[in-house]
Amino acid sequence: MNKTVIVINGQGGSGKDSICHVMSKYYKVKNISTVDPIKAIAKFAGWNGEKGDKARKMLADLKQVFIEYCDLPLNFVLQEAEKFKLDENDVMFVHCRESEEIQKIIDSCPLKTITLLVRRNDRFYEHKVFGNSADDDVENFNYDFIYNGNNETMQDLERTFMEFFEQTIKPTL
């Protein structure tokens, strides 16, 4: 498999991090988020890492400020992609929520880049409104692949996602 960037998205709690963890059992994986540099700035300003709705909105708003000011999230991804080109990893997951930012990554990334929407459809997951466009508008993009998980356990997730990846995504890479 050639080095591949997978822009991954889905509502909070849909299983994005779990999918990255599962993939790391089978492939060498690098995992970043467009909000990583924003979180560093927020921590410097006193944010303690909480993930409540108020904090999510603050991070989304702060990210928008830095998009408009210097395109920090995209520049961060492109710097990480350059490192990824030279390292031992096979897949680089880029967590990104906003449609416009996803498209900028696709248009700018020097490596094969695909998009993946993660949906979770089991009895333990409830879709909710978070109150910020970064979380609430994840469905507003034409993704290359959509994984609809029905995963009550990590074993279910590992089995169903790896089948999906090997049969659906990997042949396109």
3-state secondary structure at position 95: strand
Express each pLDDT in 5-56 by its tens digit. 999 999 878 899 999 999 999 999 999 999 999 999 999 999 999 988 889 8
Among 111, 101, 93, residue whose Cα is nearest residue 32:
93
pLDDT digits (tens, 9 = 90+) for 108-145: 999 999 999 999 876 655 666 666 666 678 889 999 99
Per-residue pLDDT, 56: 85
List of domains in the chain: 4-172 (3.40.50.300)
CA 120 → CA 56, 73, 101, 117, distances in Å? 20, 26, 23, 10
Angle between helices 36-44 and 72-86 (to 10 degrees): 120
Query: How high is the pLDDT of residue 133?
Result: 65
pTM: 0.92
Query: How many helices (H) and strands (E) in the chain?
Result: 7, 5
CB 9 within 8 A of CB 116: yes
